[in-house]
Amino acid sequence: MAYKVIHYINQFFANIGGEEMAHIPPEVRVGALGPGLGLMREFQGEVEIVATIICGDSYFNENPEQATRTIIEMIKPYNIDGFIAGPAFNAGRYGTACGAICKTVQDELHVPAITGMYIENPGVDLYRKDIYIIETSNAATGMRKALPLMANLIKKLMKSEEILDPKVEGCIPKGKRKNYFAEETGAMRAVKMLLKKLKGEEFETEYPMPEFDRVTPGKALNDLRKARIALVTSGGIVPKGNPDHIESSSASRFGIYDISDVMALTNDKYQTAHGGYDPVYANEDPNRVLPLDVLRDLEKEGVIGSIHPYFYTTVGNGTAVKSAKAFSEQIAEHLRQDGVDAVILTST
């Protein structure tokens, strides 16, 4: 008899719509759909997706407690053996929803629950200690690689089989260490690693340390009334038509646009290129994301010295940290050369 699981996906992967449908409340449909069809192929008859639960990303993150309670009540009648959410890749709201639901299913219904995310998804840091998370690529192009790993892991959990090293299973480490008997003593292994390091050879530490990205705060401005202020955003505000074709997700570039004669951003000349939030309000009034109108008022009142004649923009949605750092270094160099004293950096 096949194991029974329920699969959770968002409105996008249910083929209902994008951000314009991210407000939809939870609903349940019988059987598999979207990525669940791929999971069913991987299960090869051992597991059946008896139902799929769909919820809009905005709805869940705006109503987390209510959404979670509704979803749990939807799950209960099915008497499932396991639960799968996603994969969410690098979609932040989707990832946090997947993590929250998996944790609750695991804690309250006492069945194994897993999801899949890109390592930089905020859901990873929130839930990696509580649930198993298969490590995925940052975009849905990695679906074919993610689904076999997810299918294999949930099967092992439902069968109460031993879960091996995270690298073997393809999941993100939970930060837990497990004792085992090694063939060589710790001293011998340490010496061998040291010798490899001295020779410039590759080696793998047995105790990886977390890497913390610390940023030293800049010095306070002596006199704001003489300061030149620049506007930088990851909210995707661009001239109408997005002339530099900045991607709506996983941006590979940033834009630089002249606002020397612009008093405020109007919706006939500016828009957002961002694909990670509902663009309606940003397109209606782009100043909501890039507050040039308020900054012009402060300039007139003498609160600040002047506004830098260019603004810098990119899209943060799904953009890798490595790319974001590269953008910031280039933007910072431009600003230094132009004598900018401070930056107002806005997001979404």
Report the 10 Å Cβ neighbour count for 222: 9
- Tell me what the pLDDT averaged over the chain comes to: 92
Tell the burial category of 292 from Cβ atoms under 10 Å away from its Cβ (0-12, 13-18, 19+): buried
d(CA 313, CA 273): 10
**Which pLDDT score is estimated for 164?**
87
- Tokens (6 digits) for 24: 């939809």
Residues 6+ apart with CB under 8 A from 56: 10, 11, 21, 22, 23, 24, 25
d(CA 36, CA 42): 10
CA nearest 273: which of 283, 258, 284?
283
**Which pLDDT score is estimated for 115?**
97
CA 262 to chain centre: 34
CA distances (Å), 184 to each of 181, 190, 293, in order?
A: 9, 10, 67
pLDDT (tens digit, 9 = 90+) per residue, 62-71? 899 999 999 9
Phi and psi at 209, nearest 5°, equal -100, 145
Q: How many residues does the chain have?
A: 348
Q: DSSP string spanning 231-266?
A: EEESB-EEETT-TT---SSS----EEEE-TT-SS--
pLDDT (tens digit, 9 = 90+) per residue, 279-332? 899 999 999 999 999 999 999 999 999 999 999 999 988 787 778 888 999 999
**Which pLDDT score is estimated for 154?**
96
d(CA 231, CA 96): 29
More confident residue, 209 or 224: 224
Q: In the chain, where are the structural domains located?
A: 3-169, 224-346
Provide CATH code, domain 3-169.
3.40.50.2300
